[in-house]
């Protein structure tokens, strides 16, 4: 099924089907990289509900692209663009952390725009530390040789709050579909 011009992938697939889907996706990404002729990086967006498995799927796809297809691939999470906890406290937003307006969407759009520069250059991008529950500035070294950047997060296809500028910066968008009950169980497990 197509979603916002991208693909919708059911995450709760048997392993064999999952591997086949990753293989087909890797083929599609490889074709995209070929069409870019090294002029710029391919940007792949992975989105879905909270606890849909975006980070795990992104890591699996990156591994397949690197090991199976020889593509220099890195992963960036939108979570690195969370506003710092101190800023959320100052603005009275700590209780709603994770909603669209609790991220620095402007910085995210600016960085995605720079990621697509021709020719690709070395960049430092933020990461999110789960142990600290804070973004860490410049923690990801995006190498100039990186051919594919997988960007994962909740609001990649969001059409408001400044995120409408994100979709045009993504070459291929995928939405991970997971049953609500399973996502809820995962969210509870994260907090325990």
d(CA 133, CA 139): 14
Residues 8-30 have a mean pLDDT of: 73
Q: Is the confidence at residue 83, as pLDDT, over 90?
A: yes
Comparison of pLDDT for 43 and 191, the residue scoring more? 43
Q: Is the confidence at residue 5, as pLDDT, over 50?
A: no
Tokens matching residue 57: 């799927």
pLDDT digits (tens, 9 = 90+) for 85-121: 999 999 999 999 999 999 999 999 999 999 999 999 9
Q: How confident is the model at residue 10 (pLDDT cuts 50, 70, 90)?
A: very low
* pLDDT of 14: 42
Range name among 5-9, 63-67, 131-135, 169-173 with the lowest pLDDT average: 5-9
The percentage of residues in the chain with a pLDDT greater than 90, rounded to a whole number, is 72
pTM: 0.87
* 168 burial level (CB within 10 Å; 0-12, 13-18, 19+): exposed
pLDDT digits (tens, 9 = 90+) for 150-189: 999 999 999 999 999 999 999 999 988 876 676 556 666 6
d(CA 111, CA 109): 5
* pLDDT of 184: 54
* pLDDT of 190: 61
Comparison of pLDDT for 3 and 187, the residue scoring more? 187
Q: Name which of 45, 35, 117 is nearest 77 in CA terms.
A: 45
Q: Is the confidence at residue 8, as pLDDT, over 50?
A: no
* 66 burial level (CB within 10 Å; 0-12, 13-18, 19+): middle
């Amino acid at each position: 099924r197509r979603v916002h011009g991208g693909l919708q992938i059911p995450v709760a697939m048997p392993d064999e089907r999952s591997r086949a889907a990753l293989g087909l996706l890797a083929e599609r990404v490889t074709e995209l990289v070929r069409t870019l002729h090294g002029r710029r990086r391919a940007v792949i967006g992975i989105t879905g509900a909270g606890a849909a498995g975006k980070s795990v799927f992104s890591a699996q796809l990156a591994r397949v692209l690197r090991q199976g297809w020889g593509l220099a691939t890195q992963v960036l999470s939108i979570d690195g663009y969370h506003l710092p906890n101190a800023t959320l406290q100052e603005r009275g937003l700590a209780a709603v952390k994770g909603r669209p307006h609790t991220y620095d969407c402007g910085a995210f759009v600016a960085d995605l725009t720079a990621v697509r520069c021709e020719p690709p250059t070395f960049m430092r991008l933020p990461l999110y530390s789960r142990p600290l529950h804070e973004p860490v500035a410049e923690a990801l070294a995006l190498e100039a040789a990186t051919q594919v950047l997988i960007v994962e997060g909740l609001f990649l296809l969001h059409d408001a709050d400044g995120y409408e500028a994100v979709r045009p910066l993504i070459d291929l968008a995928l939405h991970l579909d997971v049953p609500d009950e399973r996502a809820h169980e995962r969210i509870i497990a994260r907090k325990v």
